[in-house]
Amino acid sequence: MGEPNPAAMEFLLTRRSRPAKTLRAPGPGRDEIRTLLTAAARSPDHGKLEPWRFIVLQRGALDRLASLAERRGQALGLDPDQIEKTRRQFADGVVAVAVIEVQKPSQKVPPIEQSYSAGAVCLALLNAALASGWGANWLTSWAAHDREFVREGLGLAENERVAGFIFLGTETVTPPDRPRPDIDAITTWMSD
């Protein structure tokens, strides 16, 4: 057994995402974001495929994506409230990282494992930001799944998709903790 890290365990037992709509400037700078990305890239990656990449979205890009979300939402005939919620997600963002799943051909690593790795990167980035004292939230929304939005807005290829937008900034509100799963209700112990 390795050396216990009580501080890390306490962090994991008490971690809490911060609502993106409550995050304000300042956000992390380029060097701080590089450190967060380095931590996130240490996620499980069966086959060392790196089936993900990062797009750091700063103010101008977030404004452009907010406009694109409004235009695409209208073209798709979405409910105006749904469009506005996604538009505000980008318009109000300080800085965000789009974690892009990049499916790579592999006889050894099935596509679902590559998807799991991209999800692990999202969580690792979120936790790295929170552990560094930043407010952070992992979001997607309909825009993340709209091929036209991700092609035009992020330049994604056909083998790529958004695993998540990780919004980063300064926490202005600490929301109350939410109910957590009943571990006994969702756990089966097998010995034979």
Q: Dump pLDDT digits (tens) for 137-161.
A: 999 999 999 999 999 999 999 999 9
CB 170 within 8 A of CB 32: no
Token couple for 110:
């099935």
Look at residue 1 and tell me whether its pLDDT is greater than 90.
Answer: no
Binding-site entries: 15-17, 42, 46, 138-140
Q: Average model confidence (pLDDT) for the chain?
A: 96
Report in angstroms the alpha-carbon separations of 46 from 54, 111, 113, 159: 19, 11, 8, 18
* HEC string for 155-172: CCCCCEEEEEEEEEEEEC
86-105 burial string, b = 16+ CB within 10 Å, else e? bbebbebbbbbbbbbbbbee
* Confidence label for 33 from pLDDT (cuts 50, 70 and 90): very high
CA-angle at 13, arms to 11 and 16, nearest 5°: 75
Domain boundaries of the chain, sorted by first residue: 18-171
Binding-site entries for FMN: 15-17, 42, 46, 138-140
Instruction: Please tell me the predicted confidence (pLDDT) of residue 173.
Output: 84
State whether CATH 1.10.10.10 applies to domain 18-171: no
91 DSSP β-pair partners: none
Residue 54: Cβ within 10 Å count: 18
